[in-house]
Chain A
Amino acid sequence: MTRVGVLDSSNLTGGQRLAVKYFTVALVLFGAQILFGLLAGLQYLKPDFLYGVLDFNVNRMVHINAMVVWMLYGFLGSVYWLMEDEAQHPVVGLKLGEIAFWVLTLAVTVVVLVYLFVQYGPGDIKTIWFINEGREYIEAPRWADIGIVVVVLVFYFNVLATFIKGRFTGIGGVIVLDLFALAGLYLAGMFFTPNISIDQYWWWWVIHLWVEATWEVLVGAIMAWGLMKTLGVSRRIVQTWLYIEVALMFGSGILGLGHHYFWIGTPDYWFEIGGFFSALEPIPLVAMVVHSLYDAGKHHMKSSNHPALAWLIAHAFGNFLGAGVWGFMHTLPQINLYTHGTQWTPSHGHLAFFGAYATINIAFFYLAAQQWRGNVYMGAGIAGAWRWKWALTLLSVGVLGMTMALLIAGYEQSFIERAINGSTWAGYFEAQNHPWFQQAMWWRQIFGWVTAAGYLLLVWDLLAIGAGETRTATRVGHESEEAEAGAEAAPATA
């Protein structure tokens, strides 16, 4: 029996219960990301802070690794969340999926503890296997890499088998093919070579083809399902858009990889290929904004879950602004020559990861919170609605503020270090010591604290939203189902 307004696991299906576990760890890691980001940010301002105890490289590594891992946990959770509904079949191999979750979480805990307490090792291959691989974003030691692959294979089996046993929708098909590519690409990061040009060539296969291709397509599919659920948009419309986005995303993103091959020793034909295709990368992101706003407007913003819809809209804008605009600003080689390896990159990185990925994961946290309390009402006029609105505002303002501050620091660095001083170490420090750079870093820190406040409010709200509410969620979807039936019948009668 459904208990509305009460946090009760019997309100969830098997897949949803597993999804909630993934979401919980994701939320904890989101907190770790912010905490270690604050520590690393403070070290720019107070270099002696934690010197020799938790140095910048450790804090920064935990900051970016927590980010990558919480995004992945969010994605895995989101797929488990929507899979049964989409396939119309219970998760196949759920028990195995549960074991995989605990194995992965244990492995992540061990990796983080080793990062924090062992930190580094001698210059031999054992360090790469057991302590730290020392390659940005994929620092996890090799044993953990193998563990991750095994866990992802279990997850992949769950997904594939569930869709096969149930039904294969367009969204299901895109998810299955995309996850195959996503998992396969991880293998490109699992080898050692002394040749740094070859190392970075393949490293970018993992990093770029994840965040600028397969992750984007995955969130496109998740977004499609989210719009059907929150607004009741017709399947035909979201799936057609999804295919358009896949074509545009992979059509620009796969060869857009070339914008990372300007300066790592690779041939200069990548200037043209990388410049051209990466300049096209914002187009699918514009399409996503148009798509989601059109759908929301068409349905008069009448949604079953206001916070989730607000975060989905934040995702559409954030993805376009952070990944699209901020990426485009420095993607052409003529500009990138001066901006590569400066604070421009973290400016882009902060807004892109938040805008494209944090937002949509948070939207799914709200879908989960709603269902967990018995598909509780989350429309207009809920008690304590200020919390989710302020959490959204503080997180967005915080990240945008950090982005702007880092952009100013990046401009200053590009001019003083690169253009004027020719990138020598003296030039680097002249730029770092400049009052404009220092001011920008203070503002980054202040907006980091704003982000942290937003995070705390978000956690509070996710725990409290819907408590004591007796109404059930607004039902959406009637009109769209009728329209869909009409549209599908149309070609036959035309």
Chain B
Amino acid sequence: MQAIPWWAREGFWAKTAVFVTALSFVILIWLTFDTMKQIMAGSVRVPDYSVINQRISYVADDERGYQVPKIGPEEPLFGKKLTEEEAAALVRKGKLVIQGRNCMNCHTLLGNGAYFAPDLTKAWLDPAWGAATIREQLMVQFLMDPTNNARTFGSGRKMPNLKLTEDEAKAVVAYLKWMSAIDTNGFPYNFKPIPQGGE
């Protein structure tokens, strides 16, 4: 019987497994610290919550080869400019409503979730709302009574009535506006945003 070569021994592979795992994990932790810095609200990639006071558009970036969000002039949501704290509270409320109503088991947000209903990453910028001036009101109406304001696009799929109050619907709209300002590396690609005038 021949001796087992070093590269086929249990001990060698046990040590390799521990080393590789530990090294990978250390690298992941290090990258996590860097990523966290870059995705805090108020960073370059993920804007402050008060961005909902401004116009948000999605424009081509020739250098990067895809579209990126662009923060434009002042354009407060529901006609009222909010302080940073008020905006943060409203967006927080919007996220709580989105989680509490289980939106992600029909929709995707940033492409994650279920596939029964459209992606919401750029819902704020979707041309389906017709005109930028009326969209926030249409969105609130739709969210509060999606059965009677159904937008099925011929699919027969209707959003169920999840009994959102007006405050909850407005918070969701604020959330969607804020989310549309996140730099998602060009996802969704080749998106055709709603015309907002002056672009």
Contact = CB atoms under 8 A, between A and B. Distances in A.
B134 interface: no
Given A250-B20, A254-B28, A341 B111 contact: yes
Given A197-B46, A419-B190, A134 B104 contact: yes
Interface in A169-183: 170
Contact of A134 (B2, B103, B112): B103
Secondary structure at the A interface, as helix, strand, loop or mixed, is helix
Contacts of B14: 170, 243
A171 B4 CA distance: 20
Interface string B143-168: 00001000111111110111000001
Nearest to B162: A120
Contact of B45 (A265, A346, A432): A265
A107 to B, nearest CB: 19
A257 B126 CA distance: 30
Contacts of B25: 250, 254
Contact of B119 (A128, A428, A432): A428
A486 interface: yes
Interface stretch (A7-15, A56-64, A396-404, A459-467): A56-64
A342 B183 contact: no
Contacts of B112: 136, 200, 203, 264, 341
A39 B73 CA distance: 47
Given A127-B96, A251-B24, A195 B168 contact: no
A262 B109 CA distance: 14
A338 interface: yes
Contact of A198 (B40, B97, B157): B40
Size range of the chain A interface in the assembly:
35 or more
Contacts of A345: 115
B195 interface: no
Given A47-B156, A244-B13, A247-B17, A128 B127 contact: no
B93 interface: yes
A120 B46 contact: no
Contact of B189 (A124, A132, A423, A494): A423
A123 B109 CA distance: 17
Contacts of B98: 123, 134
A135 B1 contact: no
A83 B111 CA distance: 41
B21 A119 contact: no
B185 interface: yes
B71 interface: no
B199 to A, nearest CB: 16
B34 to A, nearest CB: 7
Nearest to B187: A263
Interface string B94-114: 111111111111101111111
A199 B179 CA distance: 13
- B interface residue count range (under 10 / 10 to 19 / 20 to 34 / 35 or more): 35 or more
Given A122-B168, A134-B104, A340 B187 contact: yes
A194 to B, nearest CB: 4
Contacts, number: 266
B128 A425 contact: yes
B116 A56 contact: yes
A134 B100 contact: yes
A283 interface: no
A170 B9 CA distance: 13
B16 interface: yes
Contacts of A136: 104-105, 112-114
A84 B154 CA distance: 59
A343 B115 contact: yes
A494 B100 contact: no
A143 B20 CA distance: 36
Interface in A238-253: 239-240, 243-244, 246-247, 250-251
Nearest to A236: B10
Interface in A108-150: 119-125, 127-128, 131-136, 139
A51 B160 contact: yes
A315 interface: no
A276 interface: no
A61 B114 CA distance: 9
Contacts of A1: none
A343 B111 CA distance: 11
B122 interface: yes
Interface stretch (A73-81, A87-95, A266-274, A303-311): A266-274
B157 A170 contact: no
B13 A243 contact: yes
B59 interface: no
B84 to A, nearest CB: 13
A422 B192 contact: yes
Contacts of B141: none
Contact of B158 (A51, A134, A491): A51
5 contacts: A122-B168, A193-B95, A196-B95, A424-B191, A490-B1
Interface of A: 40, 43-44, 47-48, 51-52, 55-58, 60-61, 119-125, 127-128, 131-136, 139, 170, 192-201, 203, 236, 239-240, 243-244, 246-247, 250-251, 254-255, 257, 261-271, 273, 337-338, 340-343, 345-346, 418-419, 421-426, 428-430, 432-433, 486-487, 489-491, 493-494
